[in-house]
Amino acid sequence: MKVLTVGYNDIAEYVSRIIQQMKVDGFLPDAVVGIRTGGVYIADLFARQLMFNDGTALQISVSRPSSKNKKKFFSSLIKLLPTKMLDFLRIIEAKMMFKSNGRSRIFDISLPVELESRHYSKILIVDDAVDSGATLSAVLRVIESRYPGVGIKTAAITVTTDNPTVCPDYYLYKNSTLIRFPWSLDSK
C-alpha cells in the first residue's frame, strides 16, 4: 500500500479521466452531489467540467460521531509529524477500517433542498475516497429511497480496500493507493 500526495491540478485531471469513463458508459448526469468535505470539491469540478448549472454541485452533509473528535484531537499534532510517519499512520488507519468494514457506523445525513426542488433523471454521487464504503452506502440508500427510478451512479478518486460495502461505479485507484488530498488533516 502506498500514499500519494496530490494537488488541486492533479484532482482536476483525475475528474477529467473519470468523466471519460462516464462518457464511454453513456452516463451524463443532470445533478452532481458531493459528500462533504472532499467530495464537494470534487463534485464541483465534475459540475464545471460537465458544464451544467453554475459549476456548483449540490452538497450532502454526512457526519459521523468519530469525525469531530478525530479532527479536534489530531489537527494540531499532525502538523508536527514527518511525512513518512503520516504515511505509516494512514496505512494503519486504512487497515483498521478494512477490518471493521464500516458495519456499526451511525450517520446523520442531510440532503440538499435543491435536490428536492427539481426532477433529475441521472444523479452522480461523488466522494474523494471510499474506505469501508459505509458512508457511500448510507448516502446511496437515502437517495435511492427518496428518488426511486432515478439513474444513480457513484464516483471517487480512490477505493482504498478490497471489498468495500459499496464500490463506486467510477474510480481511478483501487486497493493499493491512499491519497493525501489538499484538504486532508495530514496535508502540509
Is residue 186, in this structure, part of any structural domain at all?
A: no
Domain that holds residue 63: 2-180
Number of domains making up the chain: 1
What are the b/e assignments for 86-121, b being 16+ CB within 10 Å? bbeebeeebeebbeebbeebebeeebeeebeeeebe
Looking at residue 96, its pLDDT comes to 63
Is residue 64, in this structure, part of any structural domain at all?
A: yes
Rounded alpha-carbon distances, angstroms, from residue 133 to 4, 9, 28, 96, 152 = 20, 26, 23, 14, 16
Q: What is the pLDDT of residues 1-37, one digit of tens each?
A: 788 999 999 999 999 999 999 999 999 998 888 888 7
Is the pLDDT score of 66 beyond 80? Answer: no
Is residue 72, in this structure, part of any structural domain at all?
A: yes
**Who's near 174: CB < 8 A, 6+ residues apart?**
158, 159
Is residue 131, in this structure, part of any structural domain at all?
A: yes
Spatial separation of the C-alpha atoms in residues 176 and 11, rounded to whole Å: 18
Q: What is the pLDDT of residues 109-120, one digit of tens each?
A: 777 777 776 788
pTM of the model: 0.80
Q: Sign of torsion, CA 104 106 112 116? A: positive
Is residue 115, in this structure, part of any structural domain at all?
A: yes
The number of residues in the chain equals 188
Q: What is the pLDDT of residues 69-125, one digit of tens each?
A: 555 556 666 666 667 776 667 666 666 655 555 454 557 777 777 777 678 889 999
Is residue 58, in this structure, part of any structural domain at all?
A: yes
Is residue 187, in this structure, part of any structural domain at all?
A: no
Is residue 188, in this structure, part of any structural domain at all?
A: no
Q: Closest Cα partner for 3 from 180, 181, 187, 183?
A: 180
Q: What is the pLDDT of residues 128-173, one digit of tens each?
A: 999 888 889 988 988 898 888 899 999 999 998 888 889 999 999 9
CATH number at residue 15: 3.40.50.2020
